[in-house]
Structures are given as C-alpha cells and as structure tokens.
Chains A and B, each alone.
Chain A
Amino acid sequence: MSPASRPAGGDFGVYVHVPFCTRRCDYCAFATWTDRFHLVDAYVEACVVAARRRLDPARPATSVFFGGGTPSLLAPGAVGRILAAVPAAAGAEITVECNPESVDRDKLRGYRDVGVTRLSFGVQSMVDHVLVSLGRDHAPDSVLRAVEAAGDAGFADSYNVDLIMGAAGESVDDFASSLDQVLGLDPAPAHVSAYGLTVEPGTPLAAAPGRHPDPDDQADKYLLADQRLAAAGLEWYEISNWARPGSSCRHNLLYWSQGEYEGLGCAAHSHSVDPRTGRARRWWNVRTPERYVKLVGQGGSGESAAEVLEPPARLQEAMELALRTRAGVPQGALPGWGTDESLDGLVELHGDHLVLTSRGRLLANEVAVRLA
C-alpha cells in the first residue's frame, strides 16, 4: 500500500529490545552486552515506565516483539510486567526471541501465561561444527528439547526457526542437513527465517577475512532453502522469510509496509506517520542500557536521534520495501522492465505487480536501484 492511501490507525506494533546475552556471537553487531545482568531489573522497570508514558490505550498494539539480545533470559514475570504496561488489541501477536539453551517447558508455559503467542528460536544451524564456527553456545540437541517444550507450552503452530547460511566451514550438505533437521522437528515449524551471514563492521568476524562468507555459496544455499521450504509447505513472503499460509509474522510485515511502531528499550527504533502532511518520522533510542535507564528515570523517552522522511522519500522507501516481499511493486515502479536486459529472469508479473523470482531475490539490491 502506498503511504498516501494507508488508512490512519491501522496496525500498530511495539518492539522491546532486550540487550543482554550470556555470550556474544562474533558476527553480531546488535546492541547487546554480556556483563550487565545487574541492570536487568532496572532495565525492565524503565521499559515499563516508558510503555506507560508513551503508549496510548486508544491505539492498542496489534503486535509486540521482544528482540535482542536474548529476550529469553528474562523470566516470565519480567516479560509479564512489560506486557501489562503495553495496551494490546485482542488477538495481538506477541513474540519472544529465544535462545534454545535458555528455555525449558516451565519458562515457555510462563510466557504463554503472561500473553506470549509466538516464539522465535535462534537455531542458526543443526550441525555441531557450524555452531562452533558461529560462536554459538548451544548444541543441536537443545533445539529438539526446546521445540518439544514449545509444543507442550502451546506454541506448536506458532514458532519460528532462524537459520544462518554461509558460516565458515559450512558445506552445502551441512546446510541441507540443517534444513532437513529443522523441517523434521516435532512439532514442525510454521515459520523459518534463513539469513545470509552478513559481515558487519566492527565485529570479530569483520576482522577475520578468511571466515567471510562466499556469496556464490550463499546463493546456492538460498536456492536450496527456497526449494526445500516450499516443498515442506512454507512459502517465501520476504527475502529471508518463509511461512505456512496464515503464519507470516504480523510484526515484521508491519515494518515492510511502513506501519507505525514504538520501540522500547535501548537502541530500539520507532516510526510514526503524520496523516496530514504524509511526512514520517523515524527515531531511535540511546545505545546503552545504562543511559536508557537514566534518561527514562529523568522523565525522558530515551530518544537519541531522528530522521524525517518527506513524502517522495517515503514513496521511494515504500517501493524498496515492497519489492522485497511477495506483494511486489506496481509494474510502473520498474520502468526498465521489458527493456533492461539485466532485469530478465529477476522479476515476473503477478497480476499487475512485479515480483522477484528466486534469482531476483538474491540480486534484490540491483533490482532496487532500478526502481523509478
């Protein structure tokens, strides 16, 4: 939907950033810390205060997403305290990202009891040596246990598995094995996200060129993932996301349709649209938990910086985001289609929209720079 036609008061999301981890993966560039557990209580409290201060009960959240970091380090009570402060619509999607190692049946039941409806497991791989290469601390077995517990706790049809493609030493067979094992989990996942390993500046991975992923290898794995996931009934609906019909992540769809959302916690991003001017404002909070706790305690919002998007820039961004999804872009948005031979085989017409093919998804940036 173009920003101009989007009805005011549509879906509204809340993102809660949980910046704590027991160890840091060497490819990770998120705002997370392994040495600040003493801040957890104060931090949860700050999120609660911020939620009460910033959220409007007249605009209940249609989705809430606890991301990190490792949100599953929070006890159900802490998640519950935050959720109690967040006005939520009936039937809202409420997701918590989980490290398979840090959950058990009781904790997951606890999450269910405080209102959580969906889990997202950072599995990354089901192959030992690949997990070691990624610097993860869980073993494939713990995934089996975590998923079984999720089934018992009522998340059988509403959990996601994250996979990473392209760790150093991961063969195509290793990745195929991870895919097969994930699809064979009991209960089977309704949603899979498969990400190409990305080298982020400043990470230990960035400093080790020998372990950087090979783009051709990642392309092979991507095409394999697309095939096997589709065969298992999971359809791709965004570059890195596949789901059973009806199991797409509502919160993430909100990001890709330029919806409005409020971020709670350090480094969280927010987005709002002024329906009168068509202008959007995006802002993000301070990066460290200490500063966030302090600023909220002083009565502030924790905001660090912001940008304003004028309607033309919003429209441009709308197309760039839509292009990444199964919705695609209106035919007119890609004027080169049909004449620019470099687009051949990268997009195809679905009704009056152009949608990326699997090859096209791998070259989405090249297609995006050709948008009108």
Chain B
Amino acid sequence: MNLDRIRNLSIVAHVDHGKSTLSDRILELTGAVDARDMREQYLDSMDIERERGITIKAQNVRVEWKGHTIHLIDTPGHVDFGYEVSRSLAACEGVVLVVDAAQGIEAQTLANAYQALENDLEIVAALNKIDLPAADPDRYAAEIEKVLGVPADQILRISAKTGFGVADLLDAIVERIPPPKGDPDLPLQGLIFDSYYDQYRGVVSAIRIVNGSLTAGARLRFLQAGRTHDVEEIGIRTPLNVPVAALGPGEVGYLIAGIKDVGEARSGETVTDAGRPAAKALEGYEDPKPMVFCGLYPVEGDDFANLREALEKLRLNDASVTYEPETSGALGFGFRCGFLGLLHMEIVRERLEREFDLSLIATAPSVEYRAHLTDGSTVEVHNPSEMPEPQTLDSIEEPYLQATILSPTEYTGTLMDLCQSRRGDMVRMEYLSPERLELVYRIPLAEVVMDFFDALKSRTKGYASLDYESAGWAQAELVKIDVLLNGVPVDAFSAIVHRSEAQEYGRRMTERLRGLIPRQMFDVPIQAAVGGRIIARETVKAKRKDVLAKCYGGDITRKRKLLEKQKEGKKRMKNIGRVEVPQEAFIQALRLEE
C-alpha cells in the first residue's frame, strides 16, 4: 500500500465529550457501517463500557475517505490506563483532539494532548457539541490555542450528534496529518498496542507495522515476551474482521497467533520475523505495575474456588491484574489483588461479579509501601498485615503522584485546601485563561486512592478534572492502625495511614462498627490502636432485651421457627474475641468505606 495514502490517528477526548459518537458518525459517513446496522457506540463492545460511557479496551477500525485509508486507533479513556494510551499514540502520526464546546479541555485530555506533542504527533482539534445552547466555541478555542499552541482559526467546529462538520474533519485529517514512514525492505518490526482474549480464537492483538511486512503464515518472534508463534490469521477491521495476506509499513490490523494469554502479547510488545529478526525492539515497552491493591473475598465461602477460576480466566484478558491467595480472620479465604488504579479495580470487580456470577467483598483499597528495617533490609508491603512490627522499623516510604487539576478559577481556594489536607505539595499553578486554572501537586497515591476524586468533584460541582502520573517515592510518618473487637484485632479493618490521620480513621471505623455490630450478652469494646496504644474507643452496650412478648396458640409455631433461625444464625456468625459478628456487618462496614 502506498504510504502516502495512509493516515493513522487516535481520537483523544474526555469522558462524555463525544468520542464514541464521533466514531459512530465517521463509520456512517465513510460507509463502513450501514446506517441500518448502526447502533450507538458501535466500537464500545463491553457492557460496562456502554453503561459507563467509557472505553476500556481500545477498538480499531479502518475506513476509506476520498482515496485515503484512515486507521482510527481508539484509546482507553481513563487515567488508570495511561500506559496503554501511550502505546496507542505510538502507533499514530496524529491525534484528533475532541473538546466539548460547552466545557473546555479537561485535565486528562490535556495530558494526552501533551503526550501527543511530545511524540511529535500532529494535533487536529475540534470543538464538539456546538449545537448545544451552552456552547462557547470562541472561548474554548482561545483556551486550546493558549495551552497547546493550535491556532484558534484552525480548530474545527462540529456536532458529532448531528454530523455537522464531520466531513470537514475527515478532510482536515487527510490534509494535516502526515503519512507514516517505514521501509518495506527492512526486517519486520510491528508494534502491538492492544490485545484481548477471545474464547474461540485466543489472543487477538492490534498491531501497527513499522518496518517490513507481516505475512499470513509467517513465524513470528515476540521480542519482550521471548516467545515464538505462528501467524494463524492477519487482517483488518472495517469494523468487521477481514483477513488479508499481508500488512505493510504504516498499516494497522489485527494478528491472531495461537496465543492463550494476553500477558504474552502485551501493549508495547515488538513482533518480528523469526527467520529474519529485527536487530532491536521498538522503544517504550514497560511491564505492568499495579498501583492499587485490595483483598477480594467471596461472600459465600464456598465460592473461593470459583473466584480463583474467575481470576485465572480474567487474567487471560487483562494481564495487568495480579492476585495472590490471602486469608482473613474476618472474611475467610480470598485474594490480594493488584490493579492499575481505582477505576481498573472497580471494573475488574464488576466483571468478576457479572461475568462469573460471584458476589464479592472488597477490602479498602491500599497502595504498596516500602518498609525499611533497622537491619538494613527492605520489605514490600501490599497489605497492612504484612507491615513489620514498629520496633523493627527504621522508616517507611510511600508512592507519590504528580496530579494535575484543571478547574474554573472560582474553586482555587477549595482545591488548594483539599490538596493540602491530603498532604499534597504544590508544584505549580498556572492560569490557562482568566477563568481556568491548572494546579499541579505532588501528592501521596494513598491519599488519591481514598476518595480524592469524589471530593474533587463534589467541591467543584463536577467542573474540575484530574490527571496524574507516578512521581516516585518519599518517606512519610506512616503507622499501622488496628481495629480491635473485645480486644482482638479484626484484620479486615487494619490500615496504614499517616500519623496525623490515625485518630480520625480510628474514630470513624470504631463509630461505624458500633452501628453495625449487633449487641451481645456483654459490653463489647471496639478500639482503634496504633502499636498497642488505644486512640479511639466505642462500646456496643450489652443487649438487655431479646424475648417474644406473646406466646399463645398462634404464636407457638412462629416462636419455634424464630428460635431455630436464631440458632442457625449463631452458627453462621464469625466469632471474634467471643463476639458474634454476622458476615453482613463486615460487608456493610467495607461497603461504607467505598
């Protein structure tokens, strides 16, 4: 294929700014999908994606426009999947930046746009939803010019909903985005930028050919995974899968090579010809690194084996999830799981429950800590129970983020309060326009994991947006806090928190449990402790009344059944420090924590 006739691009947009709708319009306008077969958000295939209006797994499609081949390379739309975004961008020569004409650019879109600029990608900017009464395209065009240097008069105005301006956008793509470069005669170098597991075909990867040619029947070498596989099928998505005999430089398509585990075809993997291998892999590959951890337990103890099987299956499709068996006195047998971020955690949990019909309890999310011991060794702590005893500890380090917040300027004060209360240090503050502000903070990941995003949204009526990236480690005054029931620690509620927040956490947890632990035959102290020192205490007073008032002819059967139920219930309770606790109380306490 003539390289000059190819355009590879990614649509970059904030959640709800109209990326999926724009994709739908492009599919229609280029004739890729018959209007009859059209359904909304055609390219978002997972139920969760459609419901939440976000894209998790990238979908790619090839369309034809006025003699040119355009590859639309979808990108995941959430900050948890930043690495996947970077690999998708590495497969492009340009991006189409879609910004809501009533809201302006959001933090994450800006971060992705900066990333595109760093990679020397051409930016075609479009203000979408100009049909909305609240649209203010002039204002936001000026803002985009200021922050990204895209001349305001080159910014297109479109309505993906009505189709207005979409043809002009396609023309602009062809005119402004440069064609790919690549040498068909060099050894094959293909970049895998997304993979998913299909139960019938195995792993299906999205691939961009950089140099050389990928042919059906070739034997391939996967350079990072160090594996060799034979091509079973290559093809293009139009958006239906159409097998082809070969893919040349600049082309984007799919690859099926009998792989059973997406971990062997990760984003960023370089594919080459086993018989004539390229000298080196393409740049930019990173191993997945879980950032957020939580314990997942089946509500029904019998489901433990099913949960293990579900996690094994899920991992075939999502190599970034990690899991290890873990036991909790309160919750029984479960798994300590690692995720790329909070949304990723939520999605995995939801998929486990939905696709595998499980009912799960999740413990409060935590991050990884590095505990440096007095003997000079270092322990990685993924779970409060792994925290070494205080007397053996020299220091603890925690992971930090650099967080970028874009917000209307009226919320500057409340946002600075929020960041400071979450132990953030300001890196910089910049006005994008008289009305919009960029705030950059260095902030502990653990603070963001808690409920930072919700707090940010509620303090700014939803107007602020957030992006973040890893920013190394720093030492902090962290303590392990235990929650004790009648003097016995309940592992599910242990947490690692900053010393300044221990009191508040302890107070909150003890109060919450007081409301959830049923009254017993004796007073039950609920305490929060740091290293043996009690910092908060509540008491569940002994119950005084548990009797049926009436017991006449019609009540006797009922009373017997009630007592049977009460006896049964007692058997099912967890016994912690002589306290009978229904599983439901733990579940409730952890749900409230979310």
A238 to B557, CA, bound (A): 18
Q: Is the CB of B545 within 8 A of A218?
A: yes
Q: Is the CB of A239 within 8 A of B521?
A: no
List A252-267 residues whose CB lies under 8 Å from chain B.
252, 255-256, 261, 263, 267
Q: Is the CB of A256 within 8 A of B545?
A: no
Q: Is the CB of B559 within 8 A of A364?
A: no
Residue of A nearest to B548 (CB): A365
Partner of A215, one of B545, B553, B560: B545
Does A369 make an interface contact (CB < 8 A)?
yes
Known: A320-B560, A342-B521, A369-B567. A261 touches B546 (CB 8 A): no
Q: Residues of A contacting B560 with CB < 8 Å? A: 313, 316-317, 320
Q: Residues of B contacting A267 with CB < 8 Å? A: 554
Residue of B nearest to A362 (CB): B545
A148 to B543, CA, bound (A): 41
How far in angstroms is the closest Cβ of chain B from A257?
12
How far in angstroms is the closest Cβ of chain A from B14?
43
A198 to B550, CA, bound (A): 9
Does A33 make an interface contact (CB < 8 A)?
no
Q: Is the CB of B554 within 8 A of A269?
A: yes
How far in angstroms is the closest Cβ of chain A from B105?
48
Known: A317-B560, A342-B522. A366 touches B546 (CB 8 A): yes
A261 to B521, CA, bound (A): 37
Count, chain A residues at interface, CB 8 A: 43
Known: A256-B551, A369-B563, A369-B567. A317 touches B556 (CB 8 A): yes
A219 to B570, CA, bound (A): 23
Chain A-chain B contacts (Cβ-Cβ < 8 Å), number:
91
Residue of A nearest to B554 (CB): A269
Partner of B557, one of A197, A215, A282, A324: A282
Q: Is the CB of B563 within 8 A of A215?
A: no
A216 to B521, CA, bound (A): 13
Q: CB-defined interface of A345-372 with B at 8 Å, one 1/0 digit per residue?
A: 0000000000000010111111011000
A359 to B108, CA, bound (A): 64
Q: Is the CB of B522 within 8 A of A282?
A: no
Does B200 make an interface contact (CB < 8 A)?
no
Q: Is the CB of B547 within 8 A of A369?
A: no
Known: A317-B560, A320-B563, A369-B570. A364 touches B550 (CB 8 A): no
A362 to B521, CA, bound (A): 12
Does B566 make an interface contact (CB < 8 A)?
yes
A368 to B562, CA, bound (A): 11
Does A271 make an interface contact (CB < 8 A)?
yes
Q: Is the CB of A198 within 8 A of B549?
A: yes
Does A68 make an interface contact (CB < 8 A)?
no
Q: Is the CB of B545 within 8 A of A239?
A: no
How far in angstroms is the closest Cβ of chain B from A202?
14
Q: Is the CB of B549 within 8 A of A195?
A: yes
Q: Residues of B contacting A320 with CB < 8 Å? A: 559-560, 563
Partner of A362, one of B522, B544, B557, B566: B544
Q: Is the CB of A219 within 8 A of B521?
A: no
A15 to B543, CA, bound (A): 36
Q: Residues of A contacting B548 with CB < 8 Å? A: 198, 239, 364-365
Does A222 make an interface contact (CB < 8 A)?
yes
Does A240 make an interface contact (CB < 8 A)?
yes
Partner of B545, one of A216, A269, A324: A216
A145 to B378, CA, bound (A): 86
Q: Is the CB of A216 within 8 A of B550?
A: no
Q: Is the CB of A240 within 8 A of B556?
A: no
Q: Residues of B contacting A268 with CB < 8 Å? A: 553-554
How far in angstroms is the closest Cβ of chain A from B561?
10
Known: A320-B560, A365-B566, A366-B521. A15 touches B547 (CB 8 A): no
Q: CB-defined interface of A217-231 with B at 8 Å, one 1/0 digit per residue?
A: 011001000000000
Partner of B549, one of A240, A255, A263: A240
Q: Is the CB of A363 within 8 A of B547?
A: yes
Does A69 make an interface contact (CB < 8 A)?
no
A342 to B541, CA, bound (A): 14
How far in angstroms is the closest Cβ of chain A from B372?
46
Q: CB-defined interface of B555-579 with A at 8 Å, one 1/0 digit per residue?
A: 0110110110011001000000000
Known: A320-B563, A342-B521. A307 touches B549 (CB 8 A): no
Q: Is the CB of B554 within 8 A of A284?
A: yes
Residue of A nearest to B553 (CB): A269
Does A196 make an interface contact (CB < 8 A)?
yes
How far in angstroms is the closest Cβ of chain B from A336?
12
How far in angstroms is the closest Cβ of chain A from B17?
44
Q: Is the CB of A369 within 8 A of B566?
A: yes
Q: Residues of B contacting A362 with CB < 8 Å? A: 544-547
A263 to B362, CA, bound (A): 53
Known: A362-B546, A365-B566. A239 touches B554 (CB 8 A): no
Known: A317-B560, A369-B566. A263 touches B553 (CB 8 A): yes
Q: Residues of A contacting B545 with CB < 8 Å? A: 196, 215-216, 218-219, 222, 362-363
Q: Residues of B contacting A222 with CB < 8 Å? A: 545
Q: CB-defined interface of B517-543 with A at 8 Å, one 1/0 digit per residue?
A: 000011000000000000000000101
How far in angstroms is the closest Cβ of chain A from B557?
6
Q: Is the CB of B556 within 8 A of A219?
A: no
Q: Residues of A contacting B570 with CB < 8 Å? A: 369
How far in angstroms is the closest Cβ of chain B from A113?
27
Q: Is the CB of B553 within 8 A of A271?
A: yes
How far in angstroms is the closest Cβ of chain A from B580?
10
Does A139 make an interface contact (CB < 8 A)?
no
Q: Residues of A contacting B559 with CB < 8 Å? A: 320
A197 to B547, CA, bound (A): 11
How far in angstroms is the closest Cβ of chain A from B27?
53
How far in angstroms is the closest Cβ of chain A from B577?
14
Q: Is the CB of B553 within 8 A of A239?
A: no
A329 to B541, CA, bound (A): 29
Does A321 make an interface contact (CB < 8 A)?
yes
A320 to B570, CA, bound (A): 17
The interface centre, meaning the residue of B541, B543, B554, B567 with most chain A CB atoms within 10 A of its CB, is B554
Q: Is the CB of A255 within 8 A of B556?
A: yes
A198 to B554, CA, bound (A): 15
Q: Is the CB of A363 within 8 A of B554?
A: no
Q: Residues of B contacting A366 with CB < 8 Å? A: 521, 543, 546
Q: Is the CB of B551 within 8 A of A363?
A: no
A255 to B551, CA, bound (A): 8
The interface centre, meaning the residue of B546, B547, B552, B562 with most chain A CB atoms within 10 A of its CB, is B547
Known: A282-B557, A342-B521, A368-B563. A363 touches B546 (CB 8 A): yes
Q: Is the CB of A324 within 8 A of B551?
A: yes
How far in angstroms is the closest Cβ of chain A from B556?
7
A23 to B547, CA, bound (A): 28
A303 to B399, CA, bound (A): 72
How far in angstroms is the closest Cβ of chain A from B272?
69
A332 to B556, CA, bound (A): 23
A316 to B564, CA, bound (A): 11
Q: Residues of B contacting A197 with CB < 8 Å? A: 549
Taking A195-B550, A284-B554, A365-B563 as given, write out 6 further A-B residue pairs in contact, using a Cβ cutoff of 8 Å, ordered by the A residue number.
A255-B553, A268-B554, A282-B556, A282-B557, A363-B521, A365-B548
Q: In the A-B complex, list the 4 residue pairs whose CB atoms are closest, starting with the nearest.
A: A219-B544, A342-B521, A269-B553, A215-B545
Q: What are 15 residue pairs bridging A and B, where the CB atoms are less than 8 Å apart in the complex?
A: A195-B549, A195-B550, A215-B544, A239-B548, A255-B553, A256-B551, A261-B553, A284-B554, A320-B560, A321-B556, A362-B546, A365-B547, A365-B562, A366-B521, A369-B566
Interface residues of A (CB under 8 A from B): 15, 67, 195-198, 215-216, 218-219, 222, 238-240, 252, 255-256, 261, 263, 267-271, 282, 284, 307, 313, 316-317, 320-321, 324, 342, 359, 361-366, 368-369
Interface residues of B (CB under 8 A from A): 521-522, 541, 543-554, 556-557, 559-560, 562-563, 566-567, 570
